[in-house]
Amino acid sequence: MQELAVRAIVRQSTERVQAPCSTCLVKDAGLCSMLIGKDRSNGTANTLPLAQNFAIAQPREIICRAKQPSEHFYVICEGWAFRFHRLQNGRRHILSFLIVGDVVSNFSIFTGSSEFATQALTDVRFCKFDRDQIRARLLQKPEIFEEWLARSVVMLRRVDRAGVALGRLQAHEKIAWLILQLRDRLDANGMINGDAIEFPLRQSHIADAMGLTTVHVCRVLNSLRKQGVFAIEDGVLRISDLAVLRRIANVM
C-alpha cells in the first residue's frame, strides 16, 4: 500500500517535468486549450494560463470520492476512469466511463463536490485545476463558458441515452451499444488507428455498466465474437463488422 503511494509520487514528479500537454491528443479541442494559455499571445491579467497540477492514479485508485468537498477540478489527460455507485447489498453500478479530455465532474466547479465517486480503471494521468480559479474564468470568458456548457450538454445526453439502453435493450444490444459508444468517442479523439483498439474494460465493468452479470457478459461476448461482430482479447478490441455492430446497437 505504501509502496504504491511512493511509486505514484515518483511518477507524478516525472510527468510534471515533461510538460505533458505538449503531446496531448486533445490539446486543441475542448476546455484545456482555452484554460492553459493557447491564447497567451493576447494575454491580459484575465487570460493568464491557469495553474496546472498533474497527478497520476493507479488502477482501482479513487480519484474523487463521493460527496467529499474538493477544491479541484479534474481533466483526464491519459487513461480510463469511471464514475460508479456502490449499493447497500454490495452491488456496483457504473454510471459512465471517462477517457482522454473528459472532465471528472462537470458541475463540481460550482457544487464543490460530486455525487458519485470516480475510480481509475487504468493508470490515469490527470490535471488538477483550482476550482475557484476555473469558476472565475468561466464566468469571465463567454467562450470558455460556452465550451463548459457544451460539455455539460453532451454529458447529460449521454446519461439520458444510457438510461434508455438500460431500460429497453436486451443484453446483446446493451453490450453492442456500450462498445459502439466507446468506439465512437475514441474515434472522435483520433484514438483509433488500424483495427486494434486499446480497450481496458474487464467483463465485470461491462456487466456493471449495463446491469448484467459477468457470467452473462461472457456468454454474450463469445456469441458476438462467433458471429464475427467484434472480439475483445488481452485488452484489445477488434471490430470485424462495424456495420453489423451499429445495426445491433441502433435499435435505439
Partner DNA sequence: CGCTCGTTTGACTGGTGTCAAGCGCAGTGG
Partner DNA sequence: CCACTGCGCTTGACACCAGTCAAACGAGCG
- Residue 211 as a binder of DNA (CB under 7 A): the answer is yes
- Residue 203 as a binder of DNA (CB under 7 A): the answer is yes
C-alpha cell at 176: 453492442
CA distance 70 to 91: 26
Q: Which of 172, 180, 186, 199 binds DNA (CB under 7 A)?
A: 172
Distance in Å, CB of 33 to a copy of itself, minimum: 21
Nearest to 55 by CA among 121, 129, 116: 129
Q: Which of 31, 34, 127, 212 binds DNA (CB under 7 A)?
A: 212
Q: Which residues contact 23 (CB under 8 A, 6 or more apart)?
A: none
User: Residue 40 in contact with residue 94, Cβ under 8 Å?
Assistant: no
Looking at 18-26, 27-35, 71-79, 108-116, which segment touches a copy of itself (CB under 8 A)? 108-116
Distance in Å, CB of 227 to a copy of itself, minimum: 20
Task: Burial-class residue 201 by CB neighbours within 10 Å (0-12, 13-18, 19+).
Answer: buried
C-alpha cell at 122: 487504468
Q: Which of 29, 171, 191, 192 binds DNA (CB under 7 A)?
A: 171
The entry of a copy of itself, DNA, none near residue 113 (CB within 5 to 8 angstroms by kind) is none
Task: Burial-class residue 160 by CB neighbours within 10 Å (0-12, 13-18, 19+).
Answer: exposed
CA distance 217 to 234: 16
The entry of DNA, a copy of itself, none near residue 215 (CB within 5 to 8 angstroms by kind) is DNA
Backbone phi, psi, residue 72, to 5°: -110, 165
**57 bridge partner residues:** 124
Q: Which is nearer to a copy of itself, 40 or 157 (CB)?
A: 157
Q: Print the binding letters for residues 151-170 with a copy of itself: x by CB under 8 A, - otherwise.
A: -xx-xxx-xx-xxx-xxx--
Name the helix (H) or strand (E) containing 191.
none
Q: Which is nearer to a copy of itself, 25 or 95 (CB)?
A: 95
Distance in Å, CB of 120 to DNA, minimum: 13
CA distance 197 to 187: 10
Site size toward a copy of itself (CB under 8 A) is 35
- Residue 113 as a binder of DNA (CB under 7 A): the answer is no
Q: Print the binding letters for residues 58-87 with a copy of itself: x by CB under 8 A, - otherwise.
A: ---------------------------x-x
The entry of a copy of itself, DNA, none near residue 218 (CB within 5 to 8 angstroms by kind) is DNA
CA distance 64 to 76: 12
